[in-house]
Chains A and B, each alone.
Chain A
Amino acid sequence: MAESKEFDPRPWYLLAPSMLAIIALVVIPMSFILVYSFYENIDLAIDRVAFQFGNWQELLTDSYYHTAIWKTLRLSIIVTVLAAVLGYIPAYFIAMTKYRHKWLLLLLLILPFWVSFIIRTLSWIHIMGNQGAINGILMWLGLTDTPVSMMFNEFAVIVGFIHVFLPYMILNIYVSLEGIDENLEPAARTLGATPWQAFREVTLPLSLPGLAAGSLLVFVLTGGSYVTPLILGGPGDFLFGNLIYDAVVVELNWPMGATLSFTLLVLLGLVVALYSRLMGMNQLSKAFG
């Protein structure tokens, strides 16, 4: 058994290409961004190379940024929870159906990815806008004389996020459900559990890993977004990502943009790290059992 203690380089050969790619495409660019956050912005698009903490000081002291972090956290939680609830039902259906062409249902789930995410987001204007489908039907039915305002508010942003991120949630839960032994629910039933009890005691806890993975994905994707609030939100519906967009594209203040970008990376990275640590240590599935 002495041989096994010797250094075996073979796994590293296999890992090397992807590790090099990560270093070249993630670690090095992010280091540049970190360096850039210490530069000083003098005027529009004019930066001075420096090592000063002005940008970081602004971030820590200006409550505008803290509000954005809070808003982002809050909205990400809302979207994640709603997506989890709304995603579980179709995932359960697809996993349990005896329909022979199950692949068709999965294809339907992936189909929206063939249309640009911006176009899918914009489509809500035609559905929920003042001249949109819903208001058209309401007014035609005579339920209302003036259009009901549904667009350009937080509600529209949430709808847009769920629309775009739901398939990620459904697929993750589906994979988890699909891996559960199909005899477990019948076993619980014969032992005296009602259909609901069998679901709650057996299927739900065993599908938690998928639910957790889908939730993390949706949370991180929402937390890092800026396009959806830009298209569907009102002036007050900005996320942290929008501040980065404003700093870089509108104010042409790249050092501040770099500071904000790095902050978002650290915050979301922290969520992922905490989450996986929690998952790994307690095995969420057992904790809920």
Chain B
Amino acid sequence: MARVDLKNIKKSYGAVQAVKQADVTFEEGSFTTLLGPSGCGKTTLLRMISGLETPTSGDILVGGKRVNDVPIHKRNLGLVFQNYALFPHRTIGENIAFGLKYRGVSKSDTATKVTEALDIVRLPGVEDRYPTQLSGGQQQRIALARAIVIEPDVLLLDEPLSALDANLREDMRVELKAIQHRIGVTSIFVTHDQSEALAMSDKIIVMSAGRVEQVGAPEEVYNNPASEFVASFLGASNILEAKVISKDAKNIVLDAPHFGKIPVPLAQAQRMGDAPSGKLVIRAEKLRLADKPGDTNTVSANGVVEAVDYQGQIARYFVRVGDIQLQALNMIESRPFAIGAEVSVVLKTADCALLPAGA
């Protein structure tokens, strides 16, 4: 187990800058997710930590020691690939034991460790089968067992759940997190799936176009996004452009089209500074549709339901308010609003986040 520090890491392929700048820390024993759309540099970052790629500049520290020049096979890292990358010509037992033979583990200890690893991933007794005889989910468990059996300093997971089907993916993420918690290994998880990131991480590093956009705990990144990119990448958000009218000790008062005056508590506007205008980020589930305007603590506008995406317990509404369309994700109380229904769109100002216009 070890912490990992990336200091001023840059990576270019010819003229293409895959990672423009990264300064991040992965705390010892923590589960950190690199989250971003494809091409944002998250996988490149992971491959640089593993040694499969070399940074153009900057330092990689594992347990405080610079590892830039340490070859891959001496880094003692466990890497789990999206496509499992099990050795098809070896049995499951041989696959898991692969890393042990380079560590001078005796034959009897190897057998014990392989059995233990299979117990951890809850697939006991499959030692003598070949990878193709297992399902995708089982193969990914074996890949995980192969990576953790060497007791790596850091466990690197490169979109390990993306190849699995939806139900299995959710089961596996709960299990993966539980295994990580049990063995306590520092884990770095790469994904483009925001719900995976939110569900599993101690810390999320949101990346976009080769840069780190925001670093924080899941709740923090979700509730207090640092930029419009983060707000729209994690969950569905509505963005209202608004002008600042006044500012006092408690609130910044905005003037937003159709909603009128919106007082935003300063706690939700820490990133605003003295900007003259800003973007109000409202999560779809924080925007409530009602038959009539709410009480005095709320702000509302009149709108018309344009589309309904019915999901049983909840419904996603697309509501036309003047020249903008807003999304609202609401629990269905008695029956959902129909298309064409005239509604009041209500937001609580304590649930919004305010960003300066440029972010």
**Interface residues, chain A, with chain B CB atoms under 8 Å away:** 181, 183-184, 186-194, 197-198, 201-202, 205-206, 285-286, 289
Contacts and interface: CB of A to CB of B under 8 A. Distances in A.
A190 B78 CA distance: 7
Interface string B141-158: 000001100100000100
A190 B73 contact: yes
Nearest to B88: A206
Contact of B89 (A191, A193, A197, A205): A205
A183 B81 contact: yes
A190 B83 CA distance: 15
A151 to B, nearest CB: 44
Contacts of B90: 289
Nearest to A187: B85
Interface string B47-67: 000111000000000000000
A184 B73 contact: no
Contacts of A191: 73, 98-99, 102, 146-147, 150
Contacts of B99: 191-192
B337 interface: no
Nearest 10 CB-CB pairings of A with B: A192-B102, A191-B99, A183-B85, A187-B85, A189-B72, A190-B79, A183-B81, A192-B73, A191-B98, A192-B99
A187 B102 contact: no
Given A181-B85, A206-B88, A188 B98 contact: yes
Contact of A189 (B73, B103, B146): B73
Contacts of B259: none
Contacts of A183: 81, 83, 85
Secondary structure of the A side of the interface?
helix
| Most chain B beta-carbon contacts within 10 A, residue among A183, A191, A198 | A191
A190 B77 contact: yes
Nearest to B90: A289
Interface residues of B, number: 28
Nearest to B149: A191
B113 interface: no
A206 B90 CA distance: 10
Nearest to B99: A191
Nearest to A286: B89
26 contacts: A181-B85, A183-B83, A183-B85, A184-B85, A184-B87, A186-B52, A186-B79, A187-B79, A187-B87, A189-B51, A189-B52, A189-B72, A189-B73, A190-B51, A190-B147, A190-B156, A191-B99, A191-B147, A192-B74, A192-B102, A193-B98, A197-B73, A202-B87, A206-B89, A289-B90, A289-B94
Interface string B232-259: 0000000000000000000000000000
B183 to A, nearest CB: 17
B75 interface: yes
B45 to A, nearest CB: 16
A122 B219 CA distance: 77
B73 A194 contact: yes
B98 A190 contact: no
Given A184-B87, A205-B89, A206-B89, A192 B81 contact: no
| Most chain A beta-carbon contacts within 10 A, residue among B88, B89, B102 | B89
Given A184-B85, A192-B74, A197-B102, 11 more contacts: A181-B88, A183-B81, A186-B52, A187-B85, A189-B51, A190-B52, A190-B79, A191-B147, A191-B150, A192-B150, A201-B87
A189 B88 CA distance: 16
A289 B89 contact: yes
B88 A190 contact: no
| Most chain A beta-carbon contacts within 10 A, residue among B88, B150, B156 | B88
Contacts of B72: 186, 189-190
Nearest to B72: A189
A192 B103 contact: yes
Contacts of B79: 186-187, 190
A90 B87 CA distance: 24
Contacts of A181: 83, 85, 88
A190 to B, nearest CB: 4
| Most chain A beta-carbon contacts within 10 A, residue among B71, B98, B150, B156 | B98
A198 B50 CA distance: 16
Nearest to A202: B87
Contacts of B71: 194
B102 A193 contact: yes
A289 B101 CA distance: 14
A109 B279 CA distance: 60
Contacts of A184: 85, 87
Contacts of B87: 184, 187-188, 201-202
Contacts of A190: 50-52, 72-73, 75, 77-79, 147, 156
B79 to A, nearest CB: 4
A285 B81 contact: no
B39 to A, nearest CB: 18
| Most chain B beta-carbon contacts within 10 A, residue among A186, A190, A285 | A190
A17 B88 CA distance: 37
A204 to B, nearest CB: 10
Contacts of B85: 181, 183-184, 186-187
A234 B150 CA distance: 60
A194 B101 CA distance: 12
Nearest to A194: B73
